[in-house]
Amino acid sequence: MNKKTTVNWAILGAGKIAKKFATDLTVVTNAQKYAVASRSFDKATSFSKEFGFEKSYGSYEEMVKDPHVDAVYIAVPHTHHATATKLCLEHGKAVLCEKPFAMHANEVEEMISIAQSKKVLLMEAMWTYFLPHYQYVLNFLKNETFGSIKSLEADFGFVAELDPSSRLLNKSLGGGGLLDIGIYPIFAALSILGMPKKINATAQFFETGADSVCEMNFQYNNDIVAKLKSTLLEKTATEATIVCENGTVLLNSRFHEPSTVTLKSNDGTTETLDFDYTTIGYNFEVAHFGSLLLEGATESPIMNFELSRKLIQLLDTVRSEIGLQYDI
């Protein structure tokens, strides 16, 4: 029997991020654009025609029953991540779920538990982790080329359209800056420094109750501090700066997506590395996930369950610090 070499992908949800994901599917050799599901059949059909998918479904339930679907990318609002993921897992479909994995740690645990009991591949789509420039920085810091880390600063900010009806400002859909963009500076701190020993955070809020600004200090041993910020009220550099004993590592704007890296040695030497990106950047996580699925793996060795658990724990802790609650 010939071994399967391609993955039939389905996208659950047909919004803005789904379109970016679909664009990068084209360049992944083990990926086949197969199906799109939306609550609106017309929207699914339009999406399929635009991006070259074979099938269109007007319900998620109908799509997961298609035996030809191998993997599903979850691209619905945050509050629906857990429900959509569980639906797919229960039908034996591998799931790549957009970040944040879910709204809180209990949902994440339930998703992981189902995946493990069903022996189905599940991974959080933290695409930044798979980008070559980000992996380069992680390895550079691990090798202590500039010595040990002294501090980290990371931000993500843009001016949001102040439309109370938009998803970004809608708290019932998990809106606000923390879950949408604050997760990236938090992930930078987690992947570079690990879990902090103490967290301090303050925030500002829109009239809708969604957070507009969140400033966080993660404190570690040896007086190392990570200063993190997310804001929907101003455009920031959206960089990550790691100061080490003998130099500084700068992930240039916008650090969470395909970018460049500048290495500044304390002796005055500066070098900027260009990673020659030609895609939006989703293809790297897609290729990784597809390879895992074709190999029969049920968990990523890179974006593993323990890392997702730690990430949602940090988000939950920050939410508690700033008094942000969702009605779920």
Hey, which residues are catalytic here? 99
Residues 188, 311 contacting (CB under 8 angstroms):
no
Residues 303, 166 contacting (CB under 8 angstroms):
no
Q: What is the DSSP-derived secondary structure letter of residue 256?
A: T
d(CA 40, CA 63): 13
Strand partners, 272: 262
Residues 95-130 as b/e (b if ≥16 CB within 10 A, e otherwise) read bbbbbbbbbbbebbeebbebbeeeebbbbbbbbbbb
* Range list of H helices, the chain: 16-25, 41-51, 60-64, 81-90, 105-118, 132-142, 177, 183-193, 283-295, 305-322
d(CA 181, CA 187): 10
SS3 state of residue 265: strand
Strands 247-251 and 240-244: antiparallel
Burial (Cβ within 10 Å: 0-12, 13-18, ≥19) of residue 324: buried
